[in-house]
A and B are shown apart, each in its own frame.
Chain A
Amino acid sequence: MMRQQDEVYAKLAAVYDPELDEPVTDMGFIEGVRIDGPEVTVYFRLPTYWCSPNFAFIMAEDIRNRIMELPWVNDVRIQLKDHCASDEINEGVSKGKSFFESFPSMSNGGLDEIRHTFRVKTYKSRQERILRHFIQSGLSHTAILNLTVAELSNYPGLEQDTHSLIEGYFAVRSEFGHTLKPGDTAFVRYDGQLIQPEDFSNYLLEIRRTRMSMEFNSNYCRGLLQTRYGEPGKENETEVIKQ
């Protein structure tokens, strides 16, 4: 039982809020998990009653899809509480319906476009944190733009935090289909284009805005969730809800 719970939580830790680029587990969005044999119910909550239903749906769908990957699971139910679209989301995601099927009169398509928009933001924001680190450490713009994937991965003297940032950046970079061969240029635009040295300052301002916005939102959401549901304890994160 304990092992199954850990497996479920490991899957949940890989589900990110698309707008904040933070795992739902770190944000305190998971209230608890119930396991009944091959059925898993995830109790899920958000900072406000009005949080965008599309983001809520994306997270709920990702929660379901990730947990369904576990070989012993054959059904995942979502229980999003205290939300203006709780019923549609819980019913829709638990039955494996698409977003459009769940909100037929309120949408005119699926969520691919919005997912893409926010993956681009994630790309920029993850990249900015690393670039910022190198700029602050005094490396020149040209030297930064000339770094290869191998040089970035093996850059001497980096802290563990920076290594994690690099891993995160490489992961989203792969999602966009750019290769990670040792000799590839480490920092490219999300569409794969090289960044020209003369454009670099403007590019930095642009991605800085994105990083700031995401960081700001995640602080806001964290604070509101805490006000709404109280201080998140370690217990909450591993709590098993029993019937």
Chain B
Amino acid sequence: MYRTKNGEEIFVIDSHIALWDGSPENQLNVHGAQFINCFYDYHKNLSPEEWVWPKEKYLKYDEETLVHDIFNKGYVDMAIFQPVYLKEFYKNGFGDVEKNSRLAQKYPGRFISNGTFDPRAGERGLEYLEYLAEEHGIKGVKLYTAEWNGNSKGYKLTDPWAQKYLEKCEQLGIINIHVHKGPTITPLNRDAFDVADIDDAASSFPNLNFIVEHVGLPRLEDFCWIATQEANVYGGLAVAMPFIHSRPRYFAEIMSELIYWLGADRLLFGSDYAIWEPKWLIDKFMDFELPEDIQKETGAELTLEVKKKILGENAAALYGIDIEKQKEMLKNDQLAVAN
């Protein structure tokens, strides 16, 4: 819980966290090493100096570290796991739904443990999705469309199999589709970050919510464009958030742009933990004001009401969480008591 200077309580949902294993023991090949190195560069480049982890810790951290950083230190009331497997790069996967779910069981009401799918897994993958829905009751999936799979270097949401998976999600009540766009999607002669397939999927599946992680960066303009067309497209702020520290003016421009095009109801806070820690992001975000000249350009405002929506209310709406009930339920749990 974040408390403002006036004592007002703000319920925080971190909509993008991970528990990963990027250690050399788990790496399958050079790609696995390069993947975690690249993450570490993001971390080092955009974190305030005092928040930079040693590389050793960053490669693989334990559950206690995660729980402490997010809930004890980081103001967060609930957090959503967004697992990425990368099984071509890591022996046991980079992320792991089972591990996440075990942690979620250990701390009831604190985590939402999302699943994932890869449409290239065909029929077997559809069965796995059924298992995830029945066994773990998942309400959301994280898709990494740039994931390698054999000779394939990625997929699009418009692929026929991806459509089947989305249909299955709809049947199973998995309504929140978090999509991360990464580079190296074939065909390579096209823009690897193109978000047009999300546009198509969002119109074909109006009952699903598409949360575009990293607000479509580096294609912010294309993302804003499709998000204004489709009411079921949301922006996840992971990766955009840390610019609040290193480039506050860019952050202000991005926020004013997003609030102008999508409105305050369709933006979700995410730290992308462990790439960045929620504590410093939230502290800076709560203190942040849009510079007057930027505010004038679009007229968009970043008021306390807007901040509350972004920090928790919007994610709560997507996942059917009644914030008041949840607060009541969590107020005496082991983490609240530890605080």
Residues of A within 8 A of B (CB): 19, 47-54, 82, 84-85, 99-100, 103, 105-111, 113-114, 117, 205-206, 208-210, 212-213, 215-217, 219-220, 223-224, 226-228
- Mark out the residues of chain B between 39 and 94 whose CB falls within 8 Å of any chain A CB in the assembled complex: 41-42, 44-46
| Cα–Cα, bound, A160→B44 (Å) | 36
Report B304 CB to chain A, min CB distance, Å: 25
Pairs A–B under 8 Å by Cβ, sample size 17: A52-B191, A52-B192, A52-B193, A54-B188, A54-B189, A54-B190, A105-B151, A106-B188, A108-B187, A109-B187, A114-B191, A213-B220, A216-B243, A223-B46, A224-B42, A227-B41, A228-B41
Residues of B within 8 A of A (CB): 31, 34-35, 37-38, 41-42, 44-46, 146, 151, 153, 182-184, 186-193, 217-221, 224-225, 243, 246-247, 250, 253-254, 257, 297-298
Query: Do B221 and A49 touch (CB < 8 A)?
Result: no
Query: Do B221 and A51 touch (CB < 8 A)?
Result: no
User: With a CB–CB cut-off of 8 A, which chain A residues contact B191?
Assistant: 52, 54, 114, 117
Report B42 CB to chain A, min CB distance, Å: 7
Query: Do B219 and A213 touch (CB < 8 A)?
Result: yes
Query: Do A107 and B37 touch (CB < 8 A)?
Result: no
| Cα–Cα, bound, A114→B298 (Å) | 30
* Additional A-B contact list (9), CB under 8 Å, known A99-B188, A99-B189, A106-B153: A48-B41, A49-B34, A49-B38, A53-B183, A54-B188, A54-B189, A209-B257, A212-B250, A219-B247
User: With a CB–CB cut-off of 8 A, which chain A residues contact B221?
Assistant: 206, 209-210, 212-213
Known A-B contacts A210-B221, A212-B220; A226 and B45 likewise in contact (beta carbons under 8 Å): yes
Contact of B224 among A48, A52, A209 (CB under 8 A): A209
Known A-B contacts A224-B41, A226-B45; A213 and B189 likewise in contact (beta carbons under 8 Å): no
| Cα–Cα, bound, A42→B184 (Å) | 24
Query: Do B38 and A215 touch (CB < 8 A)?
Result: no
Q: Secondary structure of the A side of the interface?
A: helix
| Cα–Cα, bound, A224→B41 (Å) | 6
User: With a CB–CB cut-off of 8 A, which chain B residues contact A53?
Assistant: 183-184, 188, 192
| Cα–Cα, bound, A155→B191 (Å) | 38
| Shortest 9 CB-CB contacts between residues of A and residues of B | A209-B221, A49-B34, A227-B45, A107-B189, A52-B192, A217-B218, A213-B220, A52-B183, A227-B41
| Cα–Cα, bound, A113→B184 (Å) | 17
Nearest CB in chain A to that of B146: its residue: A50
Contact of B187 among A50, A106, A209 (CB under 8 A): A106
User: With a CB–CB cut-off of 8 A, which chain A residues contact B38?
Assistant: 48-50
User: With a CB–CB cut-off of 8 A, which chain B residues contact A84?
Assistant: 31, 34, 184
Query: Do B189 and A110 touch (CB < 8 A)?
Result: yes
| Cα–Cα, bound, A17→B30 (Å) | 26
| Cα–Cα, bound, A227→B224 (Å) | 29
Query: Do B254 and A216 touch (CB < 8 A)?
Result: yes
User: With a CB–CB cut-off of 8 A, which chain B residues contact A103?
Assistant: 188-189
Report B103 CB to chain A, min CB distance, Å: 28
Contact of B37 among A49, A52, A114, A208 (CB under 8 A): A49
User: With a CB–CB cut-off of 8 A, which chain B residues contact A117?
Assistant: 191
User: With a CB–CB cut-off of 8 A, which chain A residues contact B190?
Assistant: 54, 113-114
User: With a CB–CB cut-off of 8 A, which chain A residues contact B219?
Assistant: 213
User: With a CB–CB cut-off of 8 A, which chain A residues contact B187?
Assistant: 106-109
| Cα–Cα, bound, A223→B44 (Å) | 10
User: With a CB–CB cut-off of 8 A, which chain B residues contact A19?
Assistant: 218
Most buried by B among A53, A103, A107, A213: A213
